[in-house]
Amino acid sequence: MATKDLITKVWIEEGCIVCDACETAAPDVFEVQDETCVIRPAALDASFTKPLSSDIEDAAEECPVDVIKFDTITEEVPDGEAEPAKPSEPAEEKPTAAEKAPPTPSTTASEKPAEKKKAKPEVATVTASMAGQPDPAIAGLLRAATARGGNAGILKKEESMPGGAEAWQKKDPNELPPDARQTKVLEAAKKAKQDPDSSRRALVSSAALAVGWGAFGLGAGVAGGPAFARFMMPNVLEEPDPRVRVGKLAQYIEMEPGAVNEAYKPQGIWMIREEGRVVALNIICTHLGCIPNWLPNDRKFKCPCHGSGYKPDGINFEGPTPRPLERFRLYMSDGIVVVDKSKKYQYELGQWDMLGSFLEV
C-alpha cells in the first residue's frame, strides 16, 4: 500500500490579487469574486478536499502571490492512486521515513511549500527561461487573460461602460478607467519578481494576522515549529533568467515576411519575421499590461482588456494604447537565436533600428 498527502483544509491568506489562477486550477474549490477569492462552502469539508488535493496543490503553486495555504494528512492509498514522483524533483526532496513516521498528525500548511523551498539554491541565477520553460509571471497573466474570456471580455465591458465602447475608446488613455484586476496582477507579479518576500512582509505587518500566526505556530507544536520558522525566514532571491533560446536562425529565414511565431508566448515573446529581419516582440500590452491575442485572420494583435490593436510589427493602430509594443534584444549564441528580455527597444524613442533590436536574415 502506498501513501499520499491529502488536503484536509484549505484557506486563503491576506493579499489575494484576484488573478483567477486558483479558480482556473481548482474551480470546485475556489471562487473568484470582485475583491478577493473565497473557498466554496463545500470545500470546507475534508472529505471534499481530499480527492481534489492535486488540483488544490496546483492552485497554490500557480498563485502569483503565494496566499493559498493548506493542511495535509498522510494516508494509505491503493498503489495506483499514489502520485508518481516528479522526474524533475531532486531525490532529497522526498520525505524521509522519519518525516512520514507520525501516522496521523496533519502536516502544516506552511510545511509543504517550505520543504520545496528548502531545496532551492540560494542564488539568483536560474536558467528556467533558457531551458524553454514558461515565465511564471507571464503564465499568471495568460491564465487571467484566458479566464476573462478573451475578446468576449471587451463586449462585456462595453455594456457596463457609460456611453458605449466608441465613446471611451476615443478618450485619452489617462482618462480611462483602469482595469484594476489586470493592473493588480501585473504589479504583483513584477513586485514578486523583484522582492519575493513582499507578500510575507505585508502579512506580518498585519497585527491581527500576526496574532493568528502566533497561535498557529504554538498549535503546530514541535513538529510544525521548524517548518513554521522556515516559512517565516526570508525567502531565497530568485530571478528568472531573462535570456530565452528561441531556436535556429534557419527557421526564421524560412518564415514569410509578416509571419508571427507564437511558440514562445509562454515566455513573453512573439517572434516576427520582417523583410530582411527577425524581431522579438514583448507580448505585454503597452496600455495597462494585459496580454493581447494574435488574430491571424485579421492579421493583428488584439488586446482583450480595452481593445487596443497592433499590427504584426507591433505598431499600435486602434484602441486606447498610446504606443507600440516593445521589442527585445536579439543575438546569436552557438548558432541559436537568443532573446534577452532585460533589454528593450521602443519605437517612439527611435530605437527599432538600433543594433541588437533585430537580426538580419
Q: Residue 215 class from Cβ within 10 Å (0-12 exposed, 13-18 middle, 19+ buried)?
A: exposed
What Å distances lie between residue 252 and 18, 32, 102, 329, CA to CA?
38, 41, 57, 16
What phi and psi, each to the nearest 5 degrees, are found at residue 304?
A: -75, -10
Decide whether 108 or 321 has the Cβ nearer to ligand FES: 321
- Cβ neighbour number for residue 56 with a 10 Å cutoff: 25
Q: Is 305 in the site for ligand FES (CB under 6 A)?
A: yes
Decide whether 15 or 307 has the Cβ nearer to ligand FES: 307
Chain centre to alpha carbon of residue 173: 26
Q: Is 308 in the site for ligand FES (CB under 6 A)?
A: yes
Decide whether 50 or 302 has the Cβ nearer to ligand FES: 302
Q: Is 186 in the site for ligand FES (CB under 6 A)?
A: no
The residues, ordered by sequence, that sit 6+ positions from 32 with a Cβ below 8 Å of its Cβ are 18, 20, 22, 23, 147
Q: How far is the CB of 91 from ligand FES (least distance, A)?
A: 44
Q: How far is the CB of 341 from ligand FES (least distance, A)?
A: 19
Decide whether 86 or 170 has the Cβ nearer to ligand FES: 170
> Residues 245, 287, 329, 341: which binds ligand FES (CB under 6 A)?
287
Decide whether 184 or 287 has the Cβ nearer to ligand FES: 287
Q: How far is the CB of 181 from ligand FES (least distance, A)?
A: 11
> Residues 306, 327, 329, 341: which binds ligand FES (CB under 6 A)?
306
The grid coordinates of residue 206 equal 498585519
Helix (H, G, I), strand (E, B) or coil at 236: coil
Decide whether 107 or 293 has the Cβ nearer to ligand FES: 293
> Residues 185, 288, 325, 330: which binds ligand FES (CB under 6 A)?
288
Letters for 311-350 (x = contact with ligand FES by CB under 6 A, - = none) are --------xxx-----------------------------
Q: For the residues of 79-100, what is the DSSP string, one character each?
A: GGGSPPPPTTS-GGGSPPHHHH
Q: How far is the CB of 168 from ligand FES (least distance, A)?
A: 11
Note the helical H segments in 172-268: 180-194, 198-204, 207-232, 249-254
Number of residues that bind ligand FES (CB under 6 A): 13
Is residue 316 within 8 Å of residue 349, measured between CB atoms?
no
Is residue 59 within 8 Å of residue 68, measured between CB atoms?
yes
**Applying CB under 6 A, which residues contact ligand FES?**
285, 287-290, 303, 305-308, 319-321
